[in-house]
Amino acid sequence: MVVAVRRRRALLSGWLALLFQQPRYGGCGSAKTGSIGWWNRRIWSRCPWHQGAAMAGKHKETSGESSFPKNRGEEDNKEHQAGTDMHYPKETVRKRQNSSRSSRGSDSSRASRRSFRLDYRLEEDVTKSMRGKDGKFVNPWPTWKAPALKNILKWALTEKNNSNVPSSKEELDKELPVLEPYFVQQPELAGRTDSGIRVTWLGHATVLVEMDELVLITDPVFSHRASPVSFMGPKRYRAPPCTIEQLPKLDAVLISHNHYDHLDYNTVVGLNQRFGGELRWFVPLGLLDWMQRCGCENVIELDWWEENCVPGHDEVTFVFTPAQHWCKRTATDDNKALWGSWSVLGPCNRFFFSGDTGYCAAFEQIGKRFGPFDLAAIPIGAYEPRWFMKYQHVDPEEAVRIHIDVQAKKSVAIHWGTFALANEYYLDPPVKLEEALVRYGLQSEDFFVLKHGESKDLHFDEECFENKPTTFMSTPMDVDKMICEVQEEENKKCVLND
């Protein structure tokens, strides 16, 4: 009884701290200031699409015609010019181009790579981000309800916390062993996956993904607490399986939103110290300033459905896609930044990172436009009690529905086994996941669970040709409309099947 009360108090103080702490605890805010000019805010690269918003008009224009990929060569430059001029004053464009040219590393790409345009015929079928009258972002789905203080209190005071995380390290080591990731001993193997995709779970929502000659990390958290302060807030009961120094060379970081268990100040600073401007940060709209105050220079901030890429890797497109969640780091910054998921579309593999989310209609849209995905990382934990959590966190059954909606060939379970954020028994998520898979007629290996630090290689039989012409055409709708005979001949054109 005493323990239960104490736990509730601990929980309550954590949440109240999050609700009422002062902005100075927000992390980067006061830590560093830089004299980074306004025009440096977006680091321009030689990606074919510099920034989604600038290109959206162009895509709409062409959305009626057949959008078969063609050799874009010089067209890219013209388009860039047109795209940017449309949206920014001339002066700004010039400054940006200068800053891009002189910035080290981040734009030293091979300009000769061919790249392909995504198919935008489904442009009108997706839900765009929305803001309320106060300028703050809102969830545009009927499945959303904001976590009211009244309900937070009700949860904290009346619901039983069934986490029961053992305090004995032996027991934890037995139930949730933390393995040393393969790349600590064999860093030379990292990033070499041929046409396959490799995923390593580093705890909570942090996964390392190697695909299409890139090494990515999602929502990196290497700290021991998910909190603005080091003495309070959710503490991880399983340590990170490696340090930032032990990571292989990373090309990109994907950030889903700014909650402390997904965006950690010390981790951002640590990664930036190690990789500097070579590392590209993909962040939701509204987070750019915060990232720059952390010292990060190579940051791309995107709205839902906008896209960009890593310099020198034009062939892999990063699209910020929706999710149903919310944002908060300080007392007053609620939903000033956006939240979402990431769709990474390469010539060989497609990876979907769902971030932190409740179940909503977004995933079907994402699946229609960008599926099938070779791999999805989907949360299975922090879901009890449902009356309170369901708007912001899926349970394992809804996770399986996301897996189906986005048309994932395989999924990896994340967002469990690391922080005790909600009320379910700490070992329940994989058990419930297995039950849900059975109900949906799926196999354990379709939506698998990894140990901390464990990796899995996924090799798909299909050959991967660089510049495979149909790579970006395979939304199910398109497949219905077209007969694409890629396997037979590399350069064979798709045929419309009207």
Ligand X SMILES: *[C@@H]1O[C@H](CO)[C@@H](O)[C@H](O)[C@H]1NC(C)=O
Cβ-based nearer residue to ligand X, 46 or 198: 46
Cβ-based nearer residue to ligand X, 16 or 464: 16
What is the distance between the alpha carbons of residues 293 and 291, in angstroms, rounded to a whole number? 5
In the region spanning residues 85 to 114, those forming contacts with ligand X, defined by CB under 6 A, are 94-95, 98
Can you say whether the dihedral through the CA atoms of 488, 374, 115, 481 is positive or negative?
Answer: positive
Q: Which stretch binds ligand X (CB under 6 A): 119-127, 318-326, 332-340, 416-424?
A: 416-424
Q: Which stretch binds ligand X (CB under 6 A): 3-11, 189-197, 263-271, 475-483?
A: 3-11
Cβ 365 vs Cβ 126: under 8 Å: yes
What is the distance between the alpha carbons of residues 81 and 240, in angstroms, rounded to a whole number? 44
What is the distance between the alpha carbons of residues 141 and 144, in angstroms, rounded to a whole number? 6
Which string of x and - marks every residue 421-440 that binds ligand X (by CB under 6 A)? xx------------------
- Minimum CB separation from ligand X for residue 156, in Å? 7
Cβ-based nearer residue to ligand X, 97 or 467: 97
Cβ-based nearer residue to ligand X, 303 or 395: 395
Tell the residue number behind the tokens 């830590």, with chain if given.
31
User: Is residue 11 a contact residue for ligand X (CB under 6 A)?
Assistant: yes
Can you say whether the dihedral through the CA atoms of 425, 427, 429, 431 is positive or negative?
Answer: negative
What is the distance between the alpha carbons of residues 344 and 352, in angstroms, rounded to a whole number? 6
- Minimum CB separation from ligand X for residue 14, in Å? 7
Alpha helix positions (H), 382-423: 386-389, 396-405
User: Is residue 7 a contact residue for ligand X (CB under 6 A)?
Assistant: yes
Cβ-based nearer residue to ligand X, 15 or 373: 15
Cβ-based nearer residue to ligand X, 161 or 357: 161
- Report which residue type is found at 268: V
Cβ-based nearer residue to ligand X, 107 or 405: 107
Cβ-based nearer residue to ligand X, 28 or 178: 178
- Minimum CB separation from ligand X for residue 418, in Å? 11
Cβ 357 vs Cβ 379: under 8 Å: yes
- Minimum CB separation from ligand X for residue 40, in Å? 12
For residue 198, give the DSSP letter: E
Query: CA geometry: angle at 419 spanning 414 and 425, to 5°?
Result: 85
Each as own residue / partner, the long-range contacts of residues 394-398 (CB below 8 Å, 24 or more positions apart, any chain) are: 394/357, 394/358, 394/359, 395/432, 396/429, 396/430, 396/432, 396/433, 396/435, 396/436, 397/432, 397/436, 397/439, 398/358, 398/359
How many residues bind ligand X (CB under 6 A)? The answer is 13
Query: CA geometry: angle at 393 spanning 388 and 395, to 5°?
Result: 95
User: Is residue 163 a contact residue for ligand X (CB under 6 A)?
Assistant: yes
User: Is residue 165 a contact residue for ligand X (CB under 6 A)?
Assistant: yes
- Minimum CB separation from ligand X for residue 162, in Å? 8
User: Is residue 10 a contact residue for ligand X (CB under 6 A)?
Assistant: yes
Which residue's Cβ has the minimum distance to ligand X?
Answer: 11
- Minimum CB separation from ligand X for residue 74, in Å? 22
User: Is residue 164 a contact residue for ligand X (CB under 6 A)?
Assistant: yes
User: Is residue 420 a contact residue for ligand X (CB under 6 A)?
Assistant: yes
Q: Is 104 exposed, middle or buried (0-12, 13-18, 19+ CB in 10 A)?
A: exposed
- Minimum CB separation from ligand X for residue 422, in Å? 6
Residues within the interface to ligand X (CB under 6 A): 7, 10-11, 94-95, 98, 161, 163-165, 420-422
